Every structure is written in structure tokens, then in C-alpha cells.
Chain A
Amino acid sequence: METIDTTSTHAAYDSKIEGNIIFTQVDAAINWMRKNSLWPMPMGLACCAIELMATASSRFDISRFGMEVMRFSPRQSDVMIVAGTVTYKMALAVKRVWDQMPEPKWCIAMGACASSGGMYRSYAVLQGIDQLIPVDVYISGCPPRPEALIEGLMKLQEKIEKESSTMDQKRTFFEENA
């Protein structure tokens, strides 16, 4: 016999737990969690990597944004920071590491070289990592200062905030079962 709990009331009216419960949408909650614990995959290939290291260390301290967990394993990371010159020899290795990262994942092209090849108009250098993997945020500079990288990461946070993954899943689910 199925029993229905008729004693429960609306949470907001329960004085014992009121204040500990927040009403929100699933998307908003997921986005909030995602954006505040972005684990970076540092793809340091040139001098930009020095600025990336400075960003991670105490003076600039990206742990303020929950991003201090630099993962050198792509399977545990959320955002790939391509910092530096991507040569053609390295390009497919970068792509391979990117392919190993689980969804959802984001990519930041840090600095002129990763964004467009920079000053290396040459036979050896890939003219922008966006030719191989989708880039969410481009950061200008040669190399960018840590403040610029933090600004880029905050821009990425704003982008993540606006995502609607569960809503999209729901929509496709209904469309497929219509």
C-alpha cells in the first residue's frame, strides 16, 4: 500500500529549516558550482606559462576563484589554458590532451601566440589554437599579465553562468519523445 506523507509542509514555512534552503533552478545551481571550481589544465608552451604560474601563486592567487587546482591530468580538468606558442609539432598533442578532457570543458587561448600565432608568421607555428579546438575566451597580450588572465577567467565564469545545459537536455528529451 502506497503511503503519502501528508504531514510535510512547504519548506519555506518550516521554521526549523527556514534559511537553510534556497529555491533555484537546476541550471543556476549547476552553473554556480561549475563556475566556482574550474580546475585548469595548464598547457604551458612558452613564456605565457610563466605568467600562468604567477597567477596561480600567492600574489595573484586564483584560489580566490576556486581555480587553484592545477591538474596535470586532463581527465580531471575543466578548462584548458593554452599558454604560449603552439607549434605544428605540438598541435596534435594539444588536441589529444583536449580530447581526453571530460565534458563540460572550456578553453582559454592565452596570449597572442595561442590566439593567432602572434609574431610567429612562420612555417613551424600553428596560426591560432582555434584552428584545432574551440576557444571560449581569447586573452590579448604578449604575454598577458596575471590580471588579464584573471579577467579572462572571470569572463569565462560569466559565460558559464549563462549556460542552460539541463534546460537544453529537457528540450531535446521532449522533442525526441514527442
Chain B
Amino acid sequence: MSKLPVLLIVDDDKNLRKLLAATFGYGKFQLYEAENGIDAVRLAAEVQPTVILLDVMLPGEFDGFEVCRRIKAQPALVHPRVILLTALGQKKDQMQGESAGADAYIVKPFSPLKLIELVETMI
């Protein structure tokens, strides 16, 4: 049963969470959702996701960059792949994402079908 790859969706906008859940809700993934950075870090440790879809501008203490850094720093055999989703499209934001250890950087608005293709290459 639990052989399905785990996908963690992190976004503070409930419409975006719904969109991502609908996008990946075709039976190939086990889905989890978090709406802030602290929950995301905790949940990631708990459910060991294969891929994390991570919004950059999150309310509270940790933004997406910080969440990414913390998850990538956790001791683990295989780290989750992190796809940053962001409405900040500037070069310096992208570089900040790279230095936080993100595997991909997607600027909103994005194509759900292309995002599926990208995630499929990671599992």
C-alpha cells in the first residue's frame, strides 16, 4: 500500500494547494499538505517525501528557502527532491533558491502538465 511515492505540497494559498492536489491526484502519489514552513519541516521528517513542491513566500518564521535548507541538511540516506514554486521571478531569487539546495525552480503561473512531467522524472 505505502509503496506510492510521497509528495509534499507546501503553500499558504489554499487555492494553490487545491490546484496542486488536483494536479497530482491521479492515483500515483501519496499526497501531504502543509501551509507554513514549520509544519513543512516537521511533516517532511515524518513522511519522508520523495518530492516536495515548496512555495517560497510562506508566512511565519521560515520562508521556502529556509525550509529547503533545513530539509536538505537533515541526516538522511536520500534527500527529498525540492521544487521551489515562486511568484518571485527575479534572477537573484533563483540564485538564492540554488544556494538553498533546490533541485528546480518554477515561476508562477506554471503549467500543471509540465510540472507533472518534471516530477515524473524525479521518482
A, B in one complex:
no
